[in-house]
Homo-oligomer: A and B are copies of this chain.
Amino acid sequence: MARAGLSTERLVRAGAELADEVGFGQVTVSALARRFDVQVASLYSHVKSSQDLKTRIALLALEELADRAADALAGRAGKDALVAFADVYRDYARAHPGRYTAARLRLDPETAATSAGVRHAQMTRAILRGYDLTEPDETHAVRMLGSVFHGFVDLELSGGFSHSAPDSQQSWTRVLDALDALLRNWPAPA
């Protein structure tokens, strides 16, 4: 019989596509085997388990996101950088909802430490260097930005803003305006 040419790499890529098509929750080893027209057990030579597959998809998504974010940040600073960075998240989530969901998978600490998640944190700090925050406020701001971006995108993705005016794009723009204003004028502890 001819071989299908499976590899961990190809499986993970196909898994990511599958996630975007049918939702990350529906990504199964079985579905992937069907896609390659191959017996389910065959995939277990390339992937340790269903969980392993999902983790690898998450890591792929994190890398793709970090790459795009790095591109977007090149040559930008201040609000320009903030908006470009934020838009990368939102656009990625809209274009690749399954991958984005995967990127939010809980990783165990050591996996997380060697993932592209680290680059995300570094880039967020790079943006904040355009504002005059000192520690520990910069850390608080890093966390706030992460919260807003993820929170907004999650809510938008799960339909929280649809069917209500104004459309979410307008809120996104105004929220980023507000964040920029806030960072330029970060308040002292109450």
Contact = CB atoms under 8 A, between A and B. Distances in A.
B175 A140 contact: yes
How many copies altogether?
2
Interface residues of A, number: 45
A140 B182 contact: no
A136 B190 contact: no
B171 A178 contact: no
Interface in A170-190: 170-171, 173-175, 177-178, 180-182, 185-187, 189-190
Interface of A: 79, 104, 106, 109, 112, 136-137, 139-140, 143-144, 146-152, 154-155, 158-166, 168, 170-171, 173-175, 177-178, 180-182, 185-187, 189-190
